[in-house]
Structure 1
Amino acid sequence: MVEMLSPLQPVWRPGSHGNFADGVGVVLSETQPGSIVQAAAWPGSERAVIAAIKTATGLSLPDGAGGGVATEAKAAFGFAPGRFLIVADDEGLADTLVQAIPISDGTVTDLSHGRTAIRIAGVKAEWVLQKFFAVDFSLPALPVGSGISTNHHDIFAQIQRTGPDRFDLYVFRSFARSFWKMLCHGCDEVGYEVR
């Protein structure tokens, strides 16, 4: 395994930052999963691809965009009709999915080298994210496991709620440093910790 340097390294500042008058509002971290993969189903093959994802990962996705499932080691969600993002701690998920999804049903793209995974967690996580994205991040609107694709200006992001107060964001590696700096500035007023 070749260890890839994080694009956040030049701006990574562990510790506590911002306004702590009311305690720590959020915790920011980079999760560095081993695999970030996109599966796309051809029209009419959505259910076959969902079944193949379950066979390959054990994750049971609901039918349709937005629904998802998250465990500590793996997560998946639909972010558009017939499009799914699957993440795992282990490497090699793309190869496993290529074997599970026949070309007649869809395609598999390994995004591991092109995405950076950022986690924001804490009581103010929803509030901070709503500063950047025109999305309702409340628990009823975006239940645990669910995900979306959206953008902040020109920065595309895929976001999955992986806990009641926890979100995993996947951004293009080339925009990660800029996005991280912006996210840190957005967290200043609630106090944040980088771990």
Structure 2
Amino acid sequence: MVEQLSPLAAVFRPGSHGNFVDGVGVTLSEMAPGSIVQLAAWPGEEKKLIAAITSLTGLKLADGAGAGAASERHTVFGFAPGKFLLTDTAEGLVSAAGVVTPAMGTITDLSHGRTAIRVAGPRSEWVLAKLFAVDFSLVAFPQGSGISTAHHDIFAQIQRSGPDRFDLYVFRSFARSFWKMLCHASDEVGYEVR
């Protein structure tokens, strides 16, 4: 297996940055899931696809866009009607997803085309709200839920993976620009890169 070089390598600067008057507001890090796949149900097959996702991951997933769940190994969330983003810490999720039959829908391996970034900390909602026209409050965006949105021309899929933690999936080709923008947005609250 050939190890993939991160698209963030040229701009990833570990350490503390920005304004630390009130401490560290957010921590930024690159995640490295082994697999990132998109599942899309054919019309009328959504419930079967959700059942297949539960069978594959053990995660209970409510029906509907935005619903999501996470474990130590898997994350899943609906980002549009009948469409789900599923991650696994291990590689090979597409071949393991055999429980999703061609009659249910499609599976697309996005592992090579996405970069996963984690934004965590007490000011994570504030920083992300500067970039996206989304209500990131815990009431409006509960833990496990997710959305697809964009900042200018950069498409992003976002899941709340903890009370003050968000996982963002962006196109690999835009990852460096997005990372730099995220760092600038985090300057005022102080950020740490890990």
| Fold similarity call, TM over 0.5 | yes
Q: Partner letter of residue 174 of structure 2?
A: F
Q: Partner letter of residue 102 of structure 2?
A: I
Q: Partner letter of residue 158 of structure 1?
A: Q
Alignment of 1:71-150 (within 5 A): 71-97=71-97, 99-150=98-149
Q: Deviations over 1:77-98 (max 9, x none)?
A: 000000000011111111111x
State the partner residue of 1:167. 166
State the partner residue of 1:51. 51
Q: Deviations over 1:98-120 (max 9, x none)?
A: x1111111000000000000000
Distance 2:152 2:113 in 1: 19
Distance 1:144 1:110 in 2: 25
Distance 1:36 1:3 in 2: 16
Offset at 1:69? 0.3
Distance 2:35 2:128 in 1: 24
- Say which SS state the counterpart of residue 11 (structure 1) adopts: coil
State the partner residue of 1:24. 24
- Say which SS state the counterpart of residue 182 (structure 1) adopts: helix
TM score, norm. by length of structure 1: 0.98
Q: Does 1:63 align with 2:60?
A: no
Offset at 1:127? 0.3
Seq. identity, % = 71
**Which residues of structure 2 form unaligned runs of 5+?**
none
- Say which SS state the counterpart of residue 10 (structure 1) adopts: coil
Offset at 1:72? 2.4
State the partner residue of 2:184. 185
State the partner residue of 2:41. 41
Alignment of 1:146-157 (within 5 A): 146-157=145-156
- Say which SS state the counterpart of residue 94 (structure 1) adopts: helix
Distance 2:104 2:24 in 1: 46
Q: Partner letter of residue 161 of structure 2?
A: T
Q: Deviations over 1:112-168 (max 9, x none)?
A: 000000000000000000000000000000100000000000000000000000000
**Which residues of structure 1 form unaligned runs of 5+?**
none
State the partner residue of 2:157. 158
Offset at 1:58? 1.1
Distance 2:72 2:188 in 1: 29
- Say which SS state the counterpart of residue 101 (structure 2) adopts: coil
- Structure 1 residue ranges, 4+ long, deviating more than 6 angstroms after superposition: none
